Amino acid sequence: MTRYGRQIEIGPTDNTSNERTPRNRLHLIPEEARASFAPYAPYNYGINPGEADMTRLAPGRPRAEGDPIKVVGKVTDEFGRPIKNSLIEIWNANKYGRYTHIEDHSGLALDPNFLGIGRTLTDQNGNYEFWTIRPGAYLARPDINRWRPKHIHMSIRGGSSRMITQMYFRGDPYNDTDPMRILMGDNFDKNIGIEFETPEDDFDCGYKFDIVIGGRNPTFFEDI
Amino acid sequence: MTHSKAKINRLTPTNEDTLGPYYPISLCDNDSMDMTKIRRGIILEPRGEKIVIEGCIKDINGNLANGCLLEFWQANADGIYRTPLTETHPKLDPWFNGYARHRTKDGHFSLKTIRPGINKGLEQPRAPNITLTIFSDGIMRVVTQLFFDGDPTNESDPLLLAIDENLRGRLMMKFAGATDDGLKKYTIDIIMAGDNETPFFDDLLS
Protein backbone atom coordinates (compact mmCIF):
# COMPACT_ATOMS: atom_id res chain seq x y z
CA MET A 1 0.00 0.00 0.00
CA THR A 2 1.33 3.39 -0.94
CA ARG A 3 1.99 5.72 1.97
CA TYR A 4 2.39 9.38 1.31
CA GLY A 5 4.41 12.12 2.96
CA ARG A 6 4.42 15.85 2.42
CA GLN A 7 2.88 17.73 -0.47
CA ILE A 8 5.42 20.33 -1.56
CA GLU A 9 3.68 23.63 -2.23
CA ILE A 10 4.37 26.00 -5.08
CA GLY A 11 5.86 29.37 -4.19
CA PRO A 12 3.37 32.05 -5.31
CA THR A 13 4.67 34.35 -8.09
CA ASP A 14 7.72 32.12 -8.53
CA ASN A 15 7.80 30.84 -12.11
CA THR A 16 10.58 28.34 -11.51
CA SER A 17 8.74 26.98 -8.49
CA ASN A 18 5.70 26.43 -10.68
CA GLU A 19 7.77 24.67 -13.33
CA ARG A 20 9.76 22.43 -10.99
CA THR A 21 7.59 21.56 -7.98
CA PRO A 22 6.29 17.97 -8.03
CA ARG A 23 2.50 17.91 -8.22
CA ASN A 24 2.26 14.54 -6.50
CA ARG A 25 2.80 14.03 -2.82
CA LEU A 26 6.13 12.67 -1.73
CA HIS A 27 6.20 8.95 -0.92
CA LEU A 28 7.17 7.73 2.51
CA ILE A 29 10.31 5.60 2.58
CA PRO A 30 9.86 2.10 4.03
CA GLU A 31 12.13 1.35 6.98
CA GLU A 32 14.23 -1.18 5.03
CA ALA A 33 15.25 1.52 2.56
CA ARG A 34 15.67 4.37 5.02
CA ALA A 35 19.45 4.19 5.56
CA SER A 36 20.16 4.40 1.85
CA PHE A 37 18.47 7.83 1.78
CA ALA A 38 21.11 9.37 4.03
CA PRO A 39 24.04 10.07 1.72
CA TYR A 40 27.32 10.26 3.58
CA ALA A 41 29.49 12.96 2.04
CA PRO A 42 33.21 12.35 2.42
CA TYR A 43 35.03 15.06 4.37
CA ASN A 44 37.48 16.08 1.67
CA TYR A 45 37.30 19.84 1.66
CA GLY A 46 40.17 22.09 2.62
CA ILE A 47 39.38 25.62 3.70
CA ASN A 48 41.86 28.35 2.83
CA PRO A 49 42.63 31.19 5.26
CA GLY A 50 40.31 34.13 4.86
CA GLU A 51 37.44 32.21 3.27
CA ALA A 52 35.15 33.02 6.21
CA ASP A 53 35.81 36.75 5.77
CA MET A 54 33.72 37.76 2.79
CA THR A 55 34.15 41.46 3.51
CA ARG A 56 37.50 41.32 1.67
CA LEU A 57 38.71 39.38 -1.35
CA ALA A 58 41.72 38.32 0.71
CA PRO A 59 43.42 39.35 3.94
CA GLY A 60 44.87 42.84 3.59
CA ARG A 61 42.69 43.82 0.65
CA PRO A 62 40.27 46.78 0.91
CA ARG A 63 36.91 46.21 2.53
CA ALA A 64 33.92 45.83 0.26
CA GLU A 65 31.23 48.52 0.03
CA GLY A 66 28.29 48.39 2.40
CA ASP A 67 27.74 47.35 6.00
CA PRO A 68 30.05 44.64 7.27
CA ILE A 69 28.18 42.13 9.42
CA LYS A 70 29.13 39.11 11.47
CA VAL A 71 26.95 35.99 11.32
CA VAL A 72 27.31 33.39 14.06
CA GLY A 73 25.29 30.36 15.04
CA LYS A 74 25.16 26.76 16.04
CA VAL A 75 24.17 23.86 13.81
CA THR A 76 22.35 21.03 15.57
CA ASP A 77 19.93 18.22 14.88
CA GLU A 78 16.40 18.28 16.27
CA PHE A 79 17.65 16.96 19.61
CA GLY A 80 20.11 19.81 20.03
CA ARG A 81 23.12 17.63 19.30
CA PRO A 82 25.84 19.62 17.57
CA ILE A 83 26.65 18.96 13.92
CA LYS A 84 30.44 19.03 13.98
CA ASN A 85 33.04 19.59 11.26
CA SER A 86 30.44 20.38 8.64
CA LEU A 87 31.17 22.53 5.64
CA ILE A 88 29.12 25.70 5.43
CA GLU A 89 29.07 27.33 2.03
CA ILE A 90 27.81 30.90 1.95
CA TRP A 91 26.79 33.08 -0.94
CA ASN A 92 25.05 36.45 -1.03
CA ALA A 93 24.50 39.48 -3.22
CA ASN A 94 26.48 42.68 -2.72
CA LYS A 95 25.01 45.82 -1.19
CA TYR A 96 23.36 46.63 -4.54
CA GLY A 97 21.66 43.22 -4.80
CA ARG A 98 24.07 41.90 -7.44
CA TYR A 99 25.74 38.48 -7.44
CA THR A 100 29.12 37.97 -9.03
CA HIS A 101 27.63 34.83 -10.63
CA ILE A 102 28.17 34.72 -14.38
CA GLU A 103 24.45 34.06 -14.89
CA ASP A 104 23.26 37.15 -12.95
CA HIS A 105 22.24 39.41 -15.83
CA SER A 106 20.50 42.03 -13.69
CA GLY A 107 22.96 44.75 -14.63
CA LEU A 108 23.08 46.02 -11.04
CA ALA A 109 26.36 47.50 -9.81
CA LEU A 110 29.27 45.21 -9.08
CA ASP A 111 31.72 45.90 -6.27
CA PRO A 112 35.26 44.94 -7.34
CA ASN A 113 36.08 44.21 -3.70
CA PHE A 114 33.20 41.83 -3.07
CA LEU A 115 33.08 38.23 -4.25
CA GLY A 116 30.05 37.14 -2.22
CA ILE A 117 31.28 33.56 -1.74
CA GLY A 118 32.63 32.12 1.49
CA ARG A 119 33.20 28.87 3.32
CA THR A 120 33.75 27.82 6.90
CA LEU A 121 33.51 24.74 9.09
CA THR A 122 31.47 24.14 12.22
CA ASP A 123 33.62 23.44 15.29
CA GLN A 124 33.30 20.60 17.80
CA ASN A 125 30.25 22.27 19.35
CA GLY A 126 28.58 22.90 16.01
CA ASN A 127 29.37 26.62 16.10
CA TYR A 128 30.26 28.66 13.06
CA GLU A 129 31.11 32.28 12.24
CA PHE A 130 31.57 34.23 9.05
CA TRP A 131 31.77 37.86 8.04
CA THR A 132 30.05 39.36 5.05
CA ILE A 133 28.37 42.50 3.73
CA ARG A 134 24.68 42.97 4.40
CA PRO A 135 23.19 42.12 1.00
CA GLY A 136 20.79 44.37 -0.86
CA ALA A 137 17.29 43.41 -1.91
CA TYR A 138 16.75 43.11 -5.63
CA LEU A 139 13.89 43.15 -8.11
CA ALA A 140 13.33 39.50 -8.99
CA ARG A 141 10.15 39.92 -11.07
CA PRO A 142 10.15 43.30 -12.82
CA ASP A 143 6.90 42.39 -14.61
CA ILE A 144 4.97 42.27 -11.34
CA ASN A 145 7.33 44.44 -9.25
CA ARG A 146 8.13 41.60 -6.86
CA TRP A 147 11.41 41.96 -4.96
CA ARG A 148 13.52 39.41 -3.18
CA PRO A 149 14.18 40.55 0.37
CA LYS A 150 17.72 40.68 1.72
CA HIS A 151 18.95 37.14 2.26
CA ILE A 152 22.10 35.07 2.68
CA HIS A 153 22.28 31.58 1.16
CA MET A 154 23.85 28.82 3.20
CA SER A 155 24.58 25.19 2.42
CA ILE A 156 25.50 22.77 5.20
CA ARG A 157 27.19 19.53 4.19
CA GLY A 158 29.17 16.96 6.11
CA GLY A 159 28.60 13.37 7.05
CA SER A 160 24.90 12.65 6.61
CA SER A 161 23.83 16.25 7.32
CA ARG A 162 22.48 18.14 4.37
CA MET A 163 20.62 21.37 4.14
CA ILE A 164 20.40 24.38 1.90
CA THR A 165 18.65 27.33 3.47
CA GLN A 166 18.55 31.13 3.52
CA MET A 167 18.89 33.60 6.39
CA TYR A 168 16.53 36.56 6.19
CA PHE A 169 16.48 39.92 7.99
CA ARG A 170 13.73 41.03 10.36
CA GLY A 171 11.69 43.96 9.15
CA ASP A 172 12.67 43.74 5.50
CA PRO A 173 9.70 45.27 3.65
CA TYR A 174 9.89 42.57 0.98
CA ASN A 175 9.74 39.62 3.38
CA ASP A 176 5.95 39.42 3.27
CA THR A 177 5.70 38.95 -0.48
CA ASP A 178 8.56 36.49 -0.86
CA PRO A 179 7.28 33.18 -2.29
CA MET A 180 9.23 30.85 -0.02
CA ARG A 181 8.59 33.03 3.03
CA ILE A 182 4.87 32.70 2.32
CA LEU A 183 5.19 28.92 2.22
CA MET A 184 7.08 28.92 5.53
CA GLY A 185 4.17 30.61 7.31
CA ASP A 186 4.72 31.22 11.03
CA ASN A 187 7.84 29.07 10.94
CA PHE A 188 9.54 31.83 8.93
CA ASP A 189 10.88 33.13 12.26
CA LYS A 190 13.31 30.18 12.28
CA ASN A 191 14.98 31.65 9.20
CA ILE A 192 15.54 35.17 10.53
CA GLY A 193 18.93 36.13 11.94
CA ILE A 194 18.66 37.66 15.42
CA GLU A 195 20.49 40.98 15.53
CA PHE A 196 23.02 41.73 18.25
CA GLU A 197 25.42 44.59 18.89
CA THR A 198 29.15 44.24 18.31
CA PRO A 199 30.62 47.24 20.16
CA GLU A 200 34.10 45.76 20.38
CA ASP A 201 34.34 44.84 16.69
CA ASP A 202 34.34 46.76 13.45
CA PHE A 203 30.95 45.54 12.28
CA ASP A 204 27.66 47.26 11.72
CA CYS A 205 26.14 44.51 13.87
CA GLY A 206 26.04 40.77 14.29
CA TYR A 207 23.32 38.21 13.55
CA LYS A 208 22.79 34.96 15.40
CA PHE A 209 21.41 32.27 13.15
CA ASP A 210 21.11 28.85 14.73
CA ILE A 211 20.35 26.09 12.28
CA VAL A 212 18.38 22.97 13.18
CA ILE A 213 18.56 20.22 10.58
CA GLY A 214 15.36 18.23 10.62
CA GLY A 215 14.65 14.60 9.88
CA ARG A 216 16.75 11.58 10.69
CA ASN A 217 19.55 12.10 8.17
CA PRO A 218 21.85 14.35 10.24
CA THR A 219 22.75 11.69 12.75
CA PHE A 220 21.87 8.53 10.89
CA PHE A 221 25.35 7.07 11.12
CA GLU A 222 26.64 8.98 14.11
CA ASP A 223 27.02 7.65 17.61
CA ILE A 224 23.98 8.80 19.52
CA MET B 1 4.30 10.99 11.56
CA THR B 2 5.04 8.13 13.85
CA HIS B 3 7.22 9.92 16.37
CA SER B 4 4.61 12.25 17.83
CA LYS B 5 5.44 11.59 21.48
CA ALA B 6 9.18 11.88 21.02
CA LYS B 7 8.66 15.05 19.03
CA ILE B 8 7.58 17.05 22.06
CA ASN B 9 11.12 17.82 23.14
CA ARG B 10 12.49 18.35 19.69
CA LEU B 11 13.70 21.66 18.29
CA THR B 12 11.78 23.10 15.38
CA PRO B 13 13.85 22.54 12.25
CA THR B 14 15.07 25.49 10.23
CA ASN B 15 13.17 25.67 6.96
CA GLU B 16 15.03 24.39 3.97
CA ASP B 17 15.01 26.90 1.16
CA THR B 18 15.62 26.96 -2.56
CA LEU B 19 19.07 26.78 -4.09
CA GLY B 20 18.30 29.95 -6.03
CA PRO B 21 19.82 30.57 -9.45
CA TYR B 22 23.23 31.74 -8.23
CA TYR B 23 24.90 28.84 -6.45
CA PRO B 24 28.62 29.63 -6.84
CA ILE B 25 29.93 27.45 -9.63
CA SER B 26 33.47 27.61 -8.28
CA LEU B 27 32.38 25.78 -5.11
CA CYS B 28 32.07 22.72 -7.35
CA ASP B 29 35.72 22.89 -8.46
CA ASN B 30 36.67 19.81 -6.47
CA ASP B 31 33.56 17.85 -7.37
CA SER B 32 33.70 14.98 -9.79
CA MET B 33 31.21 12.96 -11.79
CA ASP B 34 33.62 10.06 -12.03
CA MET B 35 33.10 7.82 -9.00
CA THR B 36 35.66 5.35 -10.36
CA LYS B 37 38.49 7.77 -9.59
CA ILE B 38 38.53 9.11 -6.06
CA ARG B 39 42.14 10.27 -6.33
CA ARG B 40 43.71 11.70 -9.42
CA GLY B 41 46.82 10.07 -10.79
CA ILE B 42 46.29 6.69 -9.16
CA ILE B 43 46.04 3.58 -11.30
CA LEU B 44 44.12 1.54 -8.71
CA GLU B 45 40.40 1.33 -9.31
CA PRO B 46 37.26 0.18 -7.53
CA ARG B 47 35.92 -3.34 -7.97
CA GLY B 48 32.97 -3.88 -10.23
CA GLU B 49 31.64 -3.12 -13.66
CA LYS B 50 32.23 0.41 -14.85
CA ILE B 51 29.16 2.04 -16.33
CA VAL B 52 27.99 5.45 -17.45
CA ILE B 53 24.65 6.99 -16.61
CA GLU B 54 23.42 9.80 -18.79
CA GLY B 55 20.35 11.72 -17.87
CA CYS B 56 18.62 15.00 -17.67
CA ILE B 57 16.36 16.95 -15.36
CA LYS B 58 13.21 18.37 -16.94
CA ASP B 59 10.51 20.74 -15.75
CA ILE B 60 6.73 20.63 -16.14
CA ASN B 61 6.96 21.88 -19.72
CA GLY B 62 9.54 19.30 -20.76
CA ASN B 63 12.26 21.92 -20.79
CA LEU B 64 15.64 21.15 -19.28
CA ALA B 65 15.99 22.38 -15.70
CA ASN B 66 19.15 24.46 -15.74
CA GLY B 67 21.32 25.31 -12.77
CA CYS B 68 20.38 22.33 -10.56
CA LEU B 69 22.82 20.93 -8.04
CA LEU B 70 22.79 17.13 -8.15
CA GLU B 71 24.18 14.73 -5.56
CA PHE B 72 24.57 11.00 -6.18
CA TRP B 73 25.09 8.33 -3.55
CA GLN B 74 25.43 4.58 -3.96
CA ALA B 75 26.79 1.34 -2.56
CA ASN B 76 29.94 -0.29 -3.93
CA ALA B 77 30.03 -3.40 -6.11
CA ASP B 78 29.34 -5.56 -3.05
CA GLY B 79 26.37 -3.50 -1.95
CA ILE B 80 28.22 -1.77 0.90
CA TYR B 81 27.76 1.95 1.50
CA ARG B 82 30.71 3.89 2.87
CA THR B 83 29.54 5.30 6.22
CA PRO B 84 31.03 5.43 9.74
CA LEU B 85 29.21 2.17 10.44
CA THR B 86 31.06 0.34 7.68
CA GLU B 87 34.56 1.75 8.25
CA THR B 88 35.98 -1.68 9.08
CA HIS B 89 33.70 -3.73 6.85
CA PRO B 90 35.80 -6.29 4.94
CA LYS B 91 33.91 -5.56 1.74
CA LEU B 92 34.35 -1.81 1.88
CA ASP B 93 36.20 -0.76 -1.27
CA PRO B 94 39.17 1.51 -0.52
CA TRP B 95 38.88 3.05 -3.99
CA PHE B 96 35.20 3.87 -3.89
CA ASN B 97 33.32 6.56 -1.95
CA GLY B 98 29.99 6.32 -3.76
CA TYR B 99 29.41 10.06 -3.61
CA ALA B 100 29.33 12.54 -6.47
CA ARG B 101 28.13 16.11 -6.83
CA HIS B 102 27.52 18.17 -9.93
CA ARG B 103 26.06 21.53 -10.85
CA THR B 104 24.35 21.07 -14.18
CA LYS B 105 24.43 24.18 -16.30
CA ASP B 106 21.83 23.07 -18.82
CA GLY B 107 20.02 20.18 -17.07
CA HIS B 108 22.05 17.27 -18.44
CA PHE B 109 24.34 15.04 -16.43
CA SER B 110 26.72 12.16 -17.10
CA LEU B 111 27.94 10.00 -14.23
CA LYS B 112 30.74 7.46 -14.56
CA THR B 113 30.55 4.89 -11.80
CA ILE B 114 30.46 1.19 -11.09
CA ARG B 115 27.27 -0.82 -11.05
CA PRO B 116 26.22 -0.96 -7.39
CA GLY B 117 25.74 -4.36 -5.80
CA ILE B 118 22.78 -5.71 -3.90
CA ASN B 119 22.64 -4.34 -0.37
CA LYS B 120 22.15 -7.60 1.53
CA GLY B 121 22.66 -6.44 5.09
CA LEU B 122 18.94 -6.02 5.57
CA GLU B 123 15.94 -8.24 6.18
CA GLN B 124 14.81 -7.49 2.67
CA PRO B 125 17.71 -7.01 0.21
CA ARG B 126 17.76 -3.79 -1.81
CA ALA B 127 17.94 -3.87 -5.56
CA PRO B 128 20.97 -2.03 -7.00
CA ASN B 129 20.14 1.68 -6.95
CA ILE B 130 21.58 5.16 -6.91
CA THR B 131 20.18 7.85 -4.61
CA LEU B 132 19.73 11.21 -6.30
CA THR B 133 19.28 14.49 -4.45
CA ILE B 134 18.24 17.54 -6.45
CA PHE B 135 18.63 21.13 -5.28
CA SER B 136 17.13 23.74 -7.58
CA ASP B 137 15.86 27.24 -7.87
CA GLY B 138 12.16 27.43 -7.00
CA ILE B 139 12.06 24.35 -4.79
CA MET B 140 13.63 22.80 -1.72
CA ARG B 141 15.71 19.61 -1.84
CA VAL B 142 14.00 16.56 -3.34
CA VAL B 143 15.27 12.98 -3.24
CA THR B 144 14.66 9.79 -5.16
CA GLN B 145 16.39 6.54 -6.12
CA LEU B 146 17.22 5.26 -9.58
CA PHE B 147 17.16 1.56 -10.49
CA PHE B 148 18.38 -0.63 -13.35
CA ASP B 149 15.59 -1.60 -15.71
CA GLY B 150 15.11 -5.35 -15.90
CA ASP B 151 17.18 -6.22 -12.84
CA PRO B 152 15.46 -9.26 -11.30
CA THR B 153 15.92 -7.95 -7.76
CA ASN B 154 13.67 -4.98 -8.59
CA GLU B 155 10.70 -7.32 -8.14
CA SER B 156 11.32 -7.60 -4.41
CA ASP B 157 12.82 -4.19 -3.64
CA PRO B 158 11.00 -2.69 -0.65
CA LEU B 159 11.13 0.86 -2.01
CA LEU B 160 9.75 -0.09 -5.42
CA LEU B 161 7.06 -2.18 -3.74
CA ALA B 162 6.09 0.87 -1.68
CA ILE B 163 4.97 2.84 -4.74
CA ASP B 164 2.25 2.14 -7.28
CA GLU B 165 3.27 -0.35 -9.95
CA ASN B 166 2.65 2.14 -12.75
CA LEU B 167 5.16 4.56 -11.23
CA ARG B 168 8.06 2.11 -10.94
CA GLY B 169 9.11 2.47 -14.56
CA ARG B 170 9.80 6.15 -13.98
CA LEU B 171 12.69 5.25 -11.68
CA MET B 172 14.29 2.89 -14.19
CA MET B 173 17.58 3.65 -15.89
CA LYS B 174 17.38 2.01 -19.30
CA PHE B 175 20.22 0.27 -21.09
CA ALA B 176 21.24 2.36 -24.10
CA GLY B 177 24.16 0.58 -25.74
CA ALA B 178 27.82 1.21 -25.20
CA THR B 179 29.90 4.33 -24.80
CA ASP B 180 32.79 5.07 -27.16
CA ASP B 181 35.15 3.32 -24.75
CA GLY B 182 32.96 0.26 -24.47
CA LEU B 183 31.18 0.83 -21.16
CA LYS B 184 27.51 0.02 -20.76
CA LYS B 185 25.45 3.16 -20.88
CA TYR B 186 22.15 3.77 -19.12
CA THR B 187 19.81 6.71 -19.56
CA ILE B 188 17.02 8.29 -17.56
CA ASP B 189 14.94 11.46 -17.66
CA ILE B 190 14.00 12.96 -14.31
CA ILE B 191 10.70 14.82 -14.63
CA MET B 192 10.35 17.23 -11.74
CA ALA B 193 6.68 18.03 -12.27
CA GLY B 194 3.61 17.17 -14.33
CA ASP B 195 2.94 14.27 -16.70
CA ASN B 196 5.17 11.28 -16.04
CA GLU B 197 6.46 13.03 -12.95
CA THR B 198 9.28 11.15 -11.24
CA PRO B 199 8.26 9.80 -7.82
CA PHE B 200 10.09 11.62 -5.04
CA PHE B 201 10.44 10.51 -1.43
CA ASP B 202 10.00 12.16 1.95
CA ASP B 203 13.14 11.74 4.05
CA LEU B 204 11.97 14.17 6.72
CA LEU B 205 8.76 12.37 7.70
CA SER B 206 9.89 8.82 6.91
Nearest CB neighbour to A40, from listed B21, B26, B82: B82
For domain A38-219, the CATH superfamily is Aromatic compound dioxygenase (2.60.130.10)
Mean pLDDT of A9-20: 97
- pLDDT at site A49: 85
**Which residues have a Cβ under 8 Å from the Cβ of B128 and sit 6 or more positions away?**
B75, B79, B115, B116, B117, B118, B147, B148, B151, B153
Domain B16-191, CATH 2.40.50.140 — does that match?
no
Residues of chain B with pLDDT under 50: 1-3
pLDDT class for A89, splitting at 50, 70, 90?
Answer: very high
Q: Answer positive or negative: Cα dihedral of A173, A179, A182, A183.
A: negative
Choice among A138, A168, A174, A207 that is catalytic: A138
Question: From A167, which residue of chain B is nearest by alpha-carbon distance?
Answer: B17
ipTM of the prediction: 0.96
Residue-wise pLDDT tens digits, B25-78: 999 998 999 999 998 899 999 999 999 999 999 999 999 999 999 999 999 999
Q: Does A145 touch chain B (CB under 8 A)?
A: no
Say how far apart CA B74 and CA B77 lie, in whole Å. 9
Confidence of residue A112 (pLDDT cuts 50, 70, 90): very high
Sorted by sequence, the CB contacts under 8 Å of residue B201 that are 6+ apart come out as: A5, A26, A27, A28, A29, A37, B143, B144, B145, B159
What percentage of chain B has pLDDT greater than the value 70? Answer: 95
Phi, psi of B180 (to 5 degrees): -60, -35
pLDDT at A223: 55
Q: Where are the domains of chain B?
A: 16-191
Q: How far apart are CA B155 and CA A174, in angstroms?
A: 51
Interval A77-106 mean pLDDT: 96
Helix (H, G, I), strand (E, B) or coil at B6: helix
pLDDT, position B119: 81
- pLDDT tier, A224 (very low <50, low <70, confident <90, very high otherwise): very low
Task: Please give the interface size between A and B, counted as residue pairs whose CB atoms are below 8 Å apart.
Answer: 240
Domain ranges of chain A: 38-219
Measured CA to CA, the distance from residue B31 to residue A141 in angstroms comes to 32
Mean per-residue pLDDT of chain B: 94
Can you tell me the distance from the alpha carbon of A60 to that of A113, in angstroms, rounded to the nearest whole number? 12
Looking at chain A, which residue has its C-alpha nearest residue B144?
A37
Q: Which distant-in-sequence residues (6+ apart) come within 8 Å of B171 by Cβ?
A: B144, B145, B146, B147, B160, B198, B199
Considering the candidates A148, A162, A168, A181, report the single residue annotated as catalytic: A148
The continuous run of DSSP H or E covering A151 comes out as strand A151-158
- What confidence score (pLDDT) does residue B69 get? 98
